[in-house]
Amino acid sequence: MKNYLIIGGGSGIGKSVVQQLSKAGHKVYAASRSITGANLASGVESITFDISEELDTSRLPEHLDGLLYCPGSINLKPFNRIKPEDFQAEMDLNFMGAVKVTQAVLPLLKKAENASVVYFSTVAVQSGLPFHASIAAAKGALEGLTRSLAAEFAPKIRFNAIAPSLTDTPLAENLLSNDKKREANAERHPLKRVGTPEDIASMTTFLLSEQGSWISGQVLKVDGGMSSIKGM
Ligand SMILES: NC(=O)c1ccc[n+]([C@@H]2O[C@H](COP(=O)([O-])OP(=O)(O)OC[C@H]3O[C@@H](n4cnc5c(N)ncnc54)[C@H](OP(=O)(O)O)[C@@H]3O)[C@@H](O)[C@H]2O)c1
């Protein structure tokens, strides 16, 4: 049994990861602003936490085998309408939040035999997509952080990121709010559907577990073929 902390474990991909890890018998701590034990599997500890605050580690165990940072955004706007404060807000949520949480739990990760940290990037970092300037910039910083920390903490702690394409979660609600949008978005992907939270969670739990123990410093694309396959 391992100990995992999932920041943003009450919704979308994070919630699916919490379910998979807890079903596999691990001890899971799930944190977010509105999290309650009521919508989590039994045995999962819920911690109310906003990334603008300092993480109180007193409710965490002595060591952590894994950390997952989920908070993120989808704010798509033409570049000339993105204000400096919008860029800052994206950086705070997607990048600085991950930095602060990782620093807060580093002593606990170091106490594990081999810990694993996973962050979420987006397909829009490695593939240029219109209107994605602010999110691509913030997630690009997170990809740089991933590789840098992977080098700094090898061989003790592994750091990886996952770059999903459009996935059916509350965050993507506006992009999938009717059948027409759903079909158009499915059609854009070579595998002809958008992602499910479970598609992304399966890769996440793999990277968090021993199965991924020889993988570090990677950004894994889980995107229905979006970034690397071209249709005829
Ligand atoms: N869904 C997609 O299409 C897609 C595509 C590419 C990349 N991604 C990335 O994948 C990751 C997970 O996305 P998702 O779709 O699963 O999102 P989601 O359904 O919105 O879940 C995000 C989780 O983060 C928590 N959270 C948000 N702001 C927070 C804050 N300030 N402090 C603490 N917790 C906070 C939320 O809970 P509370 O509201 O209770 O705080 C929620 O549990 C994100 O980083 C996203 O950028 C998603």
Which pLDDT belongs to residue 211? 96
Which pLDDT belongs to residue 232? 63
Which pLDDT belongs to residue 26? 96
Respond yes or no on whether the N-terminal peptide bond of residue 155 is cis (omega within 30° of 0).
Answer: yes
Q: Which atom of ligand 1 is nearest to the CA of 197?
A: 16
- Render pLDDT for 121-171 as a digit per residue (tens, 0 to 9): 999 999 999 999 999 999 999 999 999 999 999 999 999 999 999 999 999
CB atoms < 10 A from the CB of 84, how many? Answer: 7
Residue nearest to atom 11 of ligand 1 (CA): 70
For residue 99, report the phi and psi dihedrals to the nearest 5 degrees. Answer: -60, -50
**CA 168 to centroid of ligand 1, rounded, Å:** 12
Alpha carbon distance 201, 6 (integer Å): 12
- Render pLDDT for 113-130 as a digit per residue (tens, 0 to 9): 999 999 999 999 999 999
Percent of the chain clearing pLDDT 90 (strictly above): 94
Q: Which atom of ligand 1 is nearest to the CA of 35?
A: 40
Which pLDDT belongs to residue 38? 67
Percent of the chain clearing pLDDT 70 (strictly above): 98
Which pLDDT belongs to residue 41? 76
User: Whole-prediction pTM value?
Assistant: 0.97
Look over the chain and give the mean of its residue pLDDT values, rounded to a whole number: 96
Does pLDDT of 40 surpass 90? no
Which pLDDT belongs to residue 23? 95
Q: Which atom of ligand 1 is nearest to the CA of 11?
A: 43
- Render pLDDT for 167-194 as a digit per residue (tens, 0 to 9): 999 999 999 999 999 999 999 999 999 9
- Alpha helices (H) along the chain: 12-23, 84-91, 97-111, 123-126, 133-153, 179-188, 197-208
Superfamily grouping for domain 3-222 = NAD(P)-binding Rossmann-like Domain (3.40.50.720)
The full set of domain ranges for the chain reads: 3-222
